[in-house]
Each structure stands twice: as structure tokens, then as C-alpha cells.
Amino acid sequence: MYFLPHSLCLSFLPTLYLSPPISSQGAFPASIVQLRKVIIEKQGDQEVVLSAEMPLVKEVTTTLREWGSIWKQLYVANKERRVVQVQRLMWDLMEWRSQLLSGTLPSDEFKELKQKVTSKIDYGNKILELDLVVRDVNGNMLDPENASVISLFRAHQDATTKINERIKEEQAAHPLSKSKPLSTALRLRPAFCGSKNVQLALHKMVNSICLGAGDRPLNEYRSVIYYQVKQPRWMETFKVAIPLEEMHRSHLRFMFRHRSSQESKDKSEKNFAMAFVHLMKADGTVLQDGLHELVVFKGDSKRMEDVNSYLSQPSTRNQGDVPKGGTLSRSSVGALSVSSRDSFTISTLVCSTKLTQNVGLLGLLKWRTRPELLKENLEKLKIIDGEQVVKFLQDTLDALFTIMMEHSQTDDYDILVFDALIYIIGLIADRKFQHFNTVLEAYIKQHFSATLAYKKLMSVLKRYLDVSSRGEQCENYLRTLKALEYIFKFIVRSRMLYSQDLIIDLAFSLSLSLSLSLSLSFSQGETFQHIQDIVVTLLRTINRTVITMGREHALIVTCTHPHIHTHTLSVLLQDFLMETFLLFKDLIGKHVYPSDWMAMIMVQNRVFLRAINTYADTMNLKFLNNNDFEVQLWNNYFHLAVAFITQESLQLQHFSPTKRNKILAKYGDMRRLIGFAIRDMWYKLGGNKICFIPGMVGPILEMTLIPEEELRRATIPIFFDMMQCEHKLSAHFQKFENEIILKLDHEVEGGGGDERYMELLETILLECAVEHPLLRPEVEHFVDLVKGLLVRLLDYRTVMSDDSLNNRMSCTVNLLNFYKDINREGMYIRYLYKLRDLHMAVENYTEAAYTLLLHSRLLKWSEDQCSPQFEVRSCQTQRQQKESLYETIIGYFDKGKMWEEAITLCKELADQYEMEVFEYELLSQSLKQQAKFYENIMTILRPKPDYFAVGYYGQGYPPFLRNKVFIHRGKEYERREDFQNQLMSQFPSAVRLNITTMPGDDVRLSPLQYIQCFTVQPVLEIPSRLKSKPVPDQIINFYKSNYVQRFHYSRPVRRGPVDPSNEFVSMWIERTTFTTVYKLPGILRWFETTISPLENAIETMQSTNDKILTLINQYQADDALPINPLSMLLNGIVDPAVMGGFAKYEKAFFTEEYNSQHPEDRDKLDGLKDLIAWQIPLLGGGISLHGKRVKDDLRPFHERMEECFKHMRKKVEKEYGVRDLPDMDERKSSRPRSVLRSFRQSVISISSLQGSECGTPTKPYPDR
């Protein structure tokens, strides 16, 4: 990115494709412009400019870009092993791309390189779970446009088989099987009598030598040099990795060379000896593990590098006619000679799942080369070392089932194969090899492919069981019983594969018939009639076959496509279409092809799209009139079309940019095409639309949620049309609204919908309503309702993947409150149980109990049947449901040590048992439970939880937290430090505030996150039944931290001059009181703080009265205090200019309108009036004191203040009554009890759960 003067920003791509003519001058710097040749193709009326690069180079470039993006994601996800693997794949591709671009490769090398590149791409795509690339015989990508459906399918099969073969090598479960190449660890111990300063070298091994785990592969190995040592023993270990296909023609050659400390002499030294070893033996087995003494050859250094000079000779001393030990004579082998003095020893270990060192196992794996030895090799399998068998488990099983399938017409080998199979299963059951259980399971699920094996396995199994049932001796009977589990797994898997093959055949027939029928419009005359007859016959056969199998069959993934012109009878055509729609929907909803067969899937979808559009034309022509209109037929069509548009393979937003661009360029966005077709079909229904409301609301909603702008704009208006249809018939659209709310909850939770959808829905529906004034208010109400729901649902979906359990609980409460407010009890109860589950996950038993208590409050003690949404258990009546809930809730309260609440519910249950249903046995149990709870209260220690005020400030928080304060109930023995650390872990980027007051706008409006946390003290509210009574501490202590709604935070502040001799003279306490929206504990462990305007007025008035009384007390105690503070306070209250203070309260609260709207505030209104009345005697006392202290120069000021006070006093005493204070001189420090009541001095007020009633449920016994 380059920034130039005048705010010009240029973003350059790495390559610019320019079509001629090209000017020698231009706007872009020549140093960053790379000119490439292009090809201009015409597609319709448009010209498309394509790069003229070699197709393979373009494929490599595209692949590298896609892998590069994934590689970054893997790095971020800390998947180290996969990062290294992908990195090496990309290095190879980049190197080969350079070679392809050079254009200097001979044709044979180019062909070989092309094969390596395509193989590497296909392998990388597979391990990265990308789409399979299908190719022709030359390795070029196969164009679906130029291939038949059958050939395309076969190409996918071949490509999958080829890649799976390699994956077997790369990703088998056994630790020794994780890489394809042969891995040979060589331990070298050469000894050279009479030779010093020798260095050993192994080279010309391209990227095949690894000196240690994790090292990059090297091209050569060179040993260390032991100075002046005649018989060096290196004892060095390294690994040589050789591709499987090169093993049979490979050998290892070791070269020996003298080294000198003199540079000039060292350069002149040449190889003086060599040795080699064959990796494969003549019988096809691989080099045996262990020590090998190799023959050392000497001679001309150039001849030693010529393989023809030594390869035909024996490589080891125990091979051929080479003499041993000291009797070895110096004999000539062509230009090389065998050394009689020197010996060279290596130690090898082979790691491979494809190459064996056992001749018998090799004979079984390659049984086709010697079929006459097949029986012998099957019998020998039982005596082969178990390690060798399990090491080649997959290949051995493949061989056994191939033998069984290729001899399906005879039972000659059935028993031998069966016995071999149970022998292998028995091996894996052995403790030594039990970790291979996962390999066997993976083989059955992923690699086993013998579709008819179930017949032969069942036949042999039955034979063994029959023999045993007759009492005859059966040698393998016990082994068979032990292996039954896996035998049956093979049988079941084989039978399933057989069914799938049958369906694949049907799918081929379908593809052929679809292609033929869709091309009928291009056929004429007699050819047309022949094709027509073939299609009809074929499709009818397919249809009837599928029907015979049954649509409920899990493996039915096929469908038919009738040629609609062949059925002249309307009824037959209608039945055929309905049948076909159902079968199509079955096919679309299931995965016929593997998910990485993108080309095959998209070809299938394109055929379906054409077929569905053909159906639409037929339906418009034949079944749109009222006389022929069939609701079920059209319903099937709409559900089929929506199933097509919402299928996973068309959801482009889930794909990588590379894959998305490929699909759009090749096939376009099929969702838009079918979506527009659905819209057009809907509007053609006319008066029949009402038949599909509310049934089609959910499918249409699912379609509109697809994140494609034009599709949404085209289909959202269908909702308004549905509203109109229902409103015209019923004068409302309640059914539509209910269905939208129900389905929207499900769809958004499943991932549908976003902020943009909410904006479009609001805009489009309101625009549609503009021309319908009678409907407009209801539409606006509906839009507000849905918008409010969407906001909460999107918040809920966001936090469901969040680590913060608190956020998930908060959003759940917001949703259940919303559903309660709009009277959707079913959804309300659904989220109650979601909240209960969240609490139980962290053992919040008390909160879980309060949550279920909300559900119980919706039920009655009656024999009425439960509504469907109430049926959480298999209870039939509301009484049974409520009783069951109470038992669960009591158990939760018991675990949470909330025995007072449990006792309340026990009493209610006992009353029902005694007075209503007369279940005395249950009554006895309930009373015993109550007694136990009373005993627990008096004998079991219950630690008091601490409470913490938590403020979330800044715009970086979600709306339900932003700039709000909550009171949290801590757990037992939880310290503030621990609670705060846990809180900060949920918001790692948040800044901790070390203040306890509300921060300013600089913090609250900041884009960052700030957290404030400090301890608050709950304010005790003693139940009326306990007041003025001798109550034990165990009982009263409970109420000190439970059923609390007000919380204090006190901090010392200094005001006025500091007295060094007595610091308490200037020490004040500032107290902040928080009030939560509900009492704690409740359905959450925290609630938000709140304050109403009336409470704020009471706060302010009480604060003012307290200030007046405090100053009076101070001035009575100290005659030396200056008069100014008292003068300012009194004048600020009595001056008519500021008297609007409580005059505004009168206008706001002391009105008939407020009384009628807030009848619950009657006591608070009386309290405010009482505070206003008490202010008069306080002001009188203050003014009297002021008159005694004021000096002559301020006497006019005092007199004016007295005059103002007289008018104020007259008005207040008339409106709110007279209050009298004791004589100030006699009772300096006393004040009436009503004035001494403690009100909050400062309140942080924010509200989040307004209008809901989902806090702590109230008891039916208020006199607690």
C-alpha cells in the first residue's frame, strides 16, 4: 500500500493483466508492473480476460494462495505438526512452480514433474479437507461441461481411491505408519585396518536423509572424522526416507575418503573405497533388521560411482561367493576389487506399513502372483509373528476380503479366510496389541469395501454354530465367539455398503434420465418419441424401486424426474409430481456424494435446478386454477424449493474465497435463481395463499435468512403479503406473528440472521406498509417486536460460544424476560430450563431452584391437563407437574443451604397432602423433611457470602453490560481478590479501575473496557414476624446476607480544616447505597442496580435535610466555626430563585396522573411529603441559630432570609402539615427517629431488566 501526496491511496496487485495495445507510458511505476499475456474469451455478449499462463501454473498459484490462508489459520490455532506439514508441501509446490515457469524442461521431465505436482496438490487438498480435483488421463483438470455425468462420477471415484491409498500410508493410526516413505535407521560401525582419517559419505539422496527428529531432509550425509584412528566406529544414526515406488530399484551406496588437515592436500583426496546394500531382496521382502557386514570395494573413484561396475555383485559377506574373514583374497571385479583388509558394518531398522520382511506374509499380500500357493499362505498366516501381521493390518484385511470376493462363486476359501480373520481379531484382543483396536475400527468405517462379504461371513458363522449345536468338535468355535463383536461389525458394514451400491446405480439412472428429459426440447420427430418412451419407462422403474424400499429407509437418497408431457391425465400427473417432489427432497437433504466432490455436487444441483424450474412451468400450466388447485402438491413444491436453496452445498458464505469464486465463475449463485422463482410462484397463488399460512412461514423465513442481499430484498416482501392475506381474512395476523417468533428463535440459534438482516427486515416491511394506512400500526408493532427479539437472540447466540458463563446467563435471562413480556409461555419456559442447566453446570443450586420456582408459579394445584409447553416430564396433570417440580426445587435448596425457602415449599406441599389429596404417608415424609431442615438451621454453620459491586464501563462491552453496575453474590469463602481475578479472566483486555466512585465520561465513552470491583455490605431487612423478639443468632444471621436488595459502601472523607490533635473532628463518612432490581439470591448470582426518579427525589431531599441537621449540630458544639457555610446552605434552600427544587417534585409526582399510573409508589410519595414537611422545622432551627451568630454587616441578609422562610413555611405547613423539633439548646445531638432514618446519599443508576418480573419469586407467606 503506497500513500502519495494529496491523499491519493493506491493499492497494487502483484500482477496486472493488460490486453494490447500497450502504451510505453502509464500511471503505474514500471518497477511494480509485470506484464502477462492474456486470452480474451467471449461469453455471450461479454468479453472475459483470462491469463494465458499454463493451466497447471495457474492451478499451482491458486492452490498456494488457498493453502497459505489455511496455513496462517493453523499457525494461529497452534497446530504445529500440521503447520510444518503444510509448509513443506508449499515449499515443494513453489520450487516446482519455478521449474514449470522456466520453460526449459524436456517433455519427459515435464511429464514427470506434472505428475508430481498434481499428486502433491491432490494430497494436500485431501489432508486440508478441501475439494477433490478430478483429472483426465493427462493430469489436466476435468471440465464438467465436457464430461458426461457417468464419466465425471467415475473420475471422482478413481481420484478418491488414489488419494485414499496414499492417506493410508500417511495417516494410519500406528506410530510407525505415519509417513509414506521407507524409513531406515542406519547405525554405522566401519573398521579400516591400516587406514586413518577416514570420512564416510552417503549422497545423491534428494531430500531423503534426516539426521534427527524434526530436522529438514538433506541430500547427503557425511560422518565425523576421528583423527589418527585406524579403526573408527562412528555409531551415528540417521534416517533415510525412500518413496515406496522407488524401493525396488534403489540401493544405498557408501563412499570412503581420506581427509587431511592441509587444505591443499585435502582437496586432492578422492574416494578410495565404497560399499553398497540392496534394500529389497530377490523374494520381494525388504532388508532384514539387524547387523549387515558389507563388502568393501576399491578402485578408480569414477568407476565406483558407476552402478554397472558393482550392482551385479554381492553386497554382503554372507551373500554369494565372497570369502569371509582373513581368507578374503584381493580379486578383481571388473574395474573394482574386493578389499581383503577392510570391513564395513551397518545396523538397520525398517519402518514401513507396505514392505514386509516375512516371506509368508508377502505371499499372502501378493497372492495373485502365485495363486496355487493361496491355501498354503492362508494357513501359514497363523504362524507368522503377530507384530508383522498387525503392522500390515489394513493390507492383510484387504487381501483377505479380496480373496473372498474374487471367489464369490465358490466356497473353497471361505473357511480359511474366516479363520484367518478371527485369528487377526484375536491378535488385536491380546493386551500386547490392544492399541490396534482403533485401527481396526477405522478400517471398518473408512476402508472396508466388500459389499457381498456379509453373505459369506454369515454362511461360515452359521456353519460353525450348527456344528457346535450338534455337539461335534469345532476347533475354532471358541475363537469365533471371542471375535463375534467385530465379525458382526463387518457383516453390518458390508450390508450397508451393498444397499448404497444399489442406490448409486439408481442415481446413475436418474442422472441419465434427467439429462435425456431436459434435452427433449431439442429433439424432434421420431427421435423425440423414442427418447420420451425410454425416459418414462426408466423413471417409472426408479420411482417404484425407491417406493418399494420405503422413504423412511435411511439409505434412500435417490429421486426421479418424470417427463411431464407423457401424462395426459391430470390425476396421474398430480400423483406423480407429488411423489417425485418427496423423493427429490429426500435426495437433497442427504449426502449422496462425499462433501469434497464439489464438481459432482454442483453438476447435480444444476440438473436439479433445471428440473425444478420445469416443474414450476408445469404447475403454472396445469394446477394453478381453483378447480385443479391441490394444496399438498404446491406445499410439496415449496418445501422442495426451500430445501434446495438452503442445502449446505450452496451456502457460499461458509466457503473460502477461492472456492466461492470458483463456484460463482462456473455455476453462478443458484440460490438467487431458485429464490426468485419461489417469489414468483408465491405471488401467482392469488387467493390460495391463505392455505400456506402459517405452514410456509418457517421455510420462507429460512430462505430470507440466507446472507445474500438481493435474495433477501426479493423475498422479505413475502412476509408483508402474508400479513395482508391473514389480516384480510381475520382482521389480524396473529398466526403469522406466532410462527415467526417461534421459527426465528430456532433459526437464529442455529446460526441464521445478522445485524444487516434486522435492518433490511425493518426497512422493507415499513416501506411496504406506507401504502396501507390501516395495516401500518400493526406492522410497526410487529417490526418493533421482531427487532427486539432479534437483538436479544443475536446477543444470546454471540455469548453461547463465549467462555463467560455469566454473559450466557445474562442473555438467557434477557430472552426469557422478553418472552414473558409478550406472553409466549412456551418459549419462556424453554429458556427457564436453559438457565437452570447453566446454573447446574457450576453447582449454583440456589439459583437453579429459584429458576424452576418461576415455572412452578405458572402451575395450579388442580387436576387440569398440562399444556404442551409445561410437559417437561411425563406428568399428566398440573398438580403432578407442580409436585414434581417442588421436589426438585426442595432438593436444590437443600444443597444450597437455603433451608428457609425449602421449608416454605414443604409447608405448601404438606397443606396439599393434608387438606386436599389426603396423602398422609407423603405428609409424614414432608413433615420429617421440614424437621430436618429446622435442625440444619440451628446446627450447621452457613458461611456468609460477600457481595461485590462490579461496574462495566466503556463502549467496548456488549449493550447488556455497557456502563452498568451489578451487585454480585460471592460464593462461600470467596475473597474479593479471587473474585476479581476470575472476573478479569473473562475480560483479559479490560483495564481495572482502582476507584469506587462512578467514573467520568472519559471512561464511559471510551472505546476500551474498564472494570470496577469493590466489596459492599448488605443492608439487613428483618422480617416483621421477628422484630422485637428474642431471636437466636443462627436465625438472624441468615437474613444478614439473604433476601437483601440494598447494599452500602462507606468510605472516609475529610472536610474542613484538619485538627492535628484530633483527626476525627474533620473525618466524614460518605455512604453510597446500591439498590438492585431484585433481591439476592435470585435466578442469577447478580442483579443490576437501579433507582427510580421518585427514589432519586427522596434521596436528594433526605440528603439536604441531613446536611442542615449536621451543620446545626456542628455549630451548637463549636461557637468558633465561621458562619459562611451555614449562610450559604440556608439561603440556597429558602431563596425563591431555587425554591423550584421541591416545586418540581410537586409537578412531577404529586399529581392524579402519577398516582393512577404508579399506585405502588403511594408509601414513597408519603415519605417524600414527610421529608418536605420535616425540612421546615430544620430550617427554622438553622435560621434561629444563624440569627444568634450573624454579625451586624450581614443583618440585612439574614432578615431577607427570614422573610423568604415565612412564605415557604406557610405554604408547606398548609400542604404537608406541621412538624415540631425538640428545643435545640436542650437536645443538641438528638433528632426524631423519622429524620434519623438512613437514606442513600449517592446512587449509581442503570437498568437492564426493566419491565420483567423474573427476579426472586415471592413467597406465598409474606410474614416471614
Q: Which of 157-171, 179-193, 1107-1121 has the lowest mean pLDDT?
A: 179-193
Q: Determine, yes or no, domain membership for 1245.
A: no
Q: C-alpha cell of 1024? A: 416483621
Q: What pLDDT, on a 0 to 100 scale, did the predictor assign at position 430? A: 82
Split at pLDDT 50, 70, 90, the class of 1245 is very low
Are residues 532 and 559 in contact, defined by beta-carbon separation less than 8 angstroms? no
Q: What per-residue confidence (pLDDT) applies to 209?
A: 82
Query: Distance between CA 715 and CA 764 in Å, rounded?
Result: 10
- Regarding whether 338 and 193 lie in a shared domain, the answer is yes
Q: Give me 535's grid cell.
A: 425416459
Range from 493-502, 747-756, 864-873 that averages highest in pLDDT: 747-756
- Closest residue by Cα to residue 611 from 637, 575, 630: 637
Q: Whose CA is closest to 926, among 883, 874, 869? A: 883
Tens of pLDDT along 976-1020? 999 999 889 888 899 999 988 888 888 989 999 999 999 999 999
DSSP SS3 for 184: strand
Q: What contacts 24+ positions apart, CB below 8 Å, involve 407-414?
A: 408/452, 408/456, 411/456, 411/459, 413/374, 413/375, 413/378, 414/456, 414/459, 414/460
Peptide bond into 694 cis (omega under 30): yes
The domain boundary, picked from 888, 921, 939, lies at 939
Comparison of pLDDT for 499 and 885, the residue scoring more? 885
For residue 1024, the number of C-alpha atoms closer than 13 Å in the C-beta half-sphere is: 3
Mean pLDDT of 297-317: 85
Place of cell 494465458: 52
Rg of the chain over all Cα atoms, to the nearest angstrom: 44
Taking the alpha carbons at both ends of the chain, their separation in whole angstroms is 72
Higher-scoring residue by pLDDT: 759, 248: 759
Residues 460 and 411: their CA atoms lie apart, in Å, by 9
Task: Specify whether 1075 is located in the same domain as 1106.
Answer: no
Task: Map grid coordinates 438467557 to a residue.
Answer: 812
Read off the CATH number of the domain in which 200 is found. Answer: 2.60.40.150
If asked whether residues 910 and 969 sit together in one domain, one would say no
User: Do 1086 and 1251 meet the contact criterion of CB atoms below 8 Å apart?
Assistant: no
Other residues' Cβ atoms within 10 Å of the Cβ of residue 923: 18
Could you tell me which residues come within 8 angstroms of residue 1218 by beta carbon, excluding any fewer than 6 positions away?
1173, 1176
Grid cell, residue 1261, equals: 407467606
Q: Does residue 181 belong to any structural domain of this protein?
A: yes
Best mean pLDDT range from 505-519, 582-596, 715-729, 1221-1235: 715-729
Query: What contacts 741, CB < 8 A, 6 or more positions away?
Result: 785, 786, 789, 822, 824, 827
Name the domain count of the chain: 9
- Give the pLDDT confidence of 1081-1109 residue by residue, as tens digits: 999 999 998 767 787 788 778 878 888 88
Residue type, 188: L
Q: Three-class SS of residue 801?
A: coil
DSSP code, position 131:
P
pLDDT at 169: 59
Q: What percent of the chain has pLDDT over 90?
A: 31
For residues 768 and 855, state if they share a domain: no
- Phi, psi for residue 423 in degrees, rounded to 5: -65, -45
Say if 495 falls within a structural domain: no
- Interior angle at CA 500, CA 496 and CA 502, nearest 5: 120
652: nearest Cα among 574, 571, 713, 707? 707
What pLDDT score does 552 carry? Answer: 41
Q: Show the cell assigned to 832.
A: 427457564
Q: How far apart are CA 547 and CA 91, in angstroms?
A: 53
CA distance 933 to 899: 6
Fill in the amino acid letter for 614: T
More confident residue, 325 or 1237: 325
Cell representation of residue 345 = 558394518
Q: Please give the backbone phi and psi of residue 145, each rounded to the nearest 5 degrees, phi first.
A: -65, -30
Statement to judge: residues 891 and 904 lie in one domain? yes
Q: What is the pLDDT of residue 569?
A: 52
Half-sphere exposure of residue 714: CA atoms within 13 angstroms, side-chain side: 19
Residues near 1017 by Cβ (< 8 Å), separated by ≥ 6?
947, 1047, 1048, 1049, 1050
Mean pLDDT of 683-698: 94
Q: Which of 626, 659, 684 is the last residue of a domain?
A: 684
Q: Which of 379, 425, 385, 420 is nearest to 400 (CA)?
A: 420
Of the spans 665-674, 869-878, 1083-1092, which averages the highest pLDDT? 665-674
Instruction: Give the pLDDT of residue 509.
Output: 52
Regarding whether 930 and 979 lie in a shared domain, the answer is: no
pLDDT band at 1255 (very low <50, low <70, confident <90, very high): low
Q: What share of the chain in percent tops pLDDT 70?
A: 81
* Res 725: pLDDT: 95
- Is there a single domain that holds both residue 346 and residue 210? yes
Pairing verdict, β 991-993 and 1010-1018: parallel
Which residue do the cell numbers 444397499 mark?
499
CATH code of the domain covering residue 899 = 1.25.40.410
What is the C-alpha separation between 1236 and 831, in angstroms, rounded?
45
Tell whether 136 and 235 lie within a shared domain: no
DSSP-based three-state secondary structure for 135: strand
Which of 482, 510, 544 is the endpoint of a domain? 482
- Confidence category of residue 575, pLDDT binned at 50, 70, 90: confident
Pick the more confident residue, 161 or 132.
132
* Cβ-contact 1164, 1095 below 8 angstroms: yes
Averaged pLDDT, 512-524 = 47
Taking residue 1190's Cβ as centre, other Cβ atoms within 10 Å add up to 18
Segment 914-945, tens digit of pLDDT: 999 999 999 999 999 999 999 999 999 999 99
Q: What is the mean pLDDT of the chain?
A: 80
Residue 1139 has pLDDT above 50, yes or no: no
Cα–Cα dist 1200/1187, whole Å: 12
Q: Is pLDDT at 748 greater than 70 in this prediction?
A: yes
DSSP secondary structure string for all residues of 574-603: HHHHHHHHHHHHHHHHS-SS-TT-HHHHHH
Backbone φ and ψ of 951, nearest 5°: -110, 135
Cα–Cα distance between 608 and 667 in angstroms, integer?
A: 13
**The pLDDT value given to residue 573:** 79
CA dihedral (348, 353, 356, 358) in degrees, to 10, reads 110
Same-domain pairing of 1132 and 1116: yes
3-state helix, strand, coil in the chain (%, to 5): 55, 10, 30
Domain around 885: 841-939
> Could you tell me the sign of the dihedral formed by the alpha carbons of 230, 235, 240, 246, in that order?
positive
Query: Which distant-in-sequence residues (6+ apart) come within 8 Å of 282 by Cβ?
Result: none
Cα–Cα distance for residue pair 417/404, rounded to 1 Å: 7
Per mean pLDDT, which range of 5-14, 614-623, 1210-1219 is the poorest?
A: 5-14
Shared domain for 472 and 422, answered yes or no, is yes
Sheet holding 237-242, edge to edge: 209-210, 237-242, 182-188, 344-351, 290-294
Mean pLDDT, range 509-536, rounded to an integer: 49
- Give the mean pLDDT of 578-603: 86
Is the pLDDT at 582 greater than 80, yes or no?
yes
Q: Does some domain include residue 619?
A: yes
The reported pLDDT for the residue numbered 102 is: 83
Contact 855, 885 (CB under 8 A): yes
Distances (CA, A) of 92 to 87, 96, 116, 607, 794: 9, 6, 10, 39, 45
Residues 568, 642: one domain? yes
Q: In this structure, is residue 512 part of a structural domain?
A: no
Q: How many CA atoms lie within 13 A of 1139 on its CB side?
A: 13
Any idea what DSSP says for residue 1092? -
pLDDT for residue 51 is more than 70: no
Residue 562 within a domain: yes
| 789 in any annotated domain | yes
Rounded to 5°, the CA angle 895-899-904 comes to 125
Cα separation, 203 vs 224, in Å, equals: 15
Using CB atoms within 10 Å of the CB of residue 625, give its burial: 0 to 12 exposed, 13 to 18 middle, 19+ buried. Answer: exposed
Residue 774 sits in the same domain as residue 721: yes
Instruction: Supply 806's cell numbers.
Output: 455469566
Higher pLDDT, 1238 or 125: 125
**In this predicted model, what pLDDT tens digit does every residue of 319-377 receive, in sequence order?**
655 544 433 334 455 578 888 778 888 888 887 766 776 666 777 777 777 788 888 88
Q: Is the N-terminal amide bond of 181 cis, ω within 30° of 0?
A: no
State the pLDDT at residue 507. Answer: 52
More reliable by pLDDT, 204 or 682: 682
10 Å Cβ neighbour count for 1258?
11
Structural domain includes residue 523: no
The answer, yes or no, to whether residue 181 has pLDDT greater than 80, is no
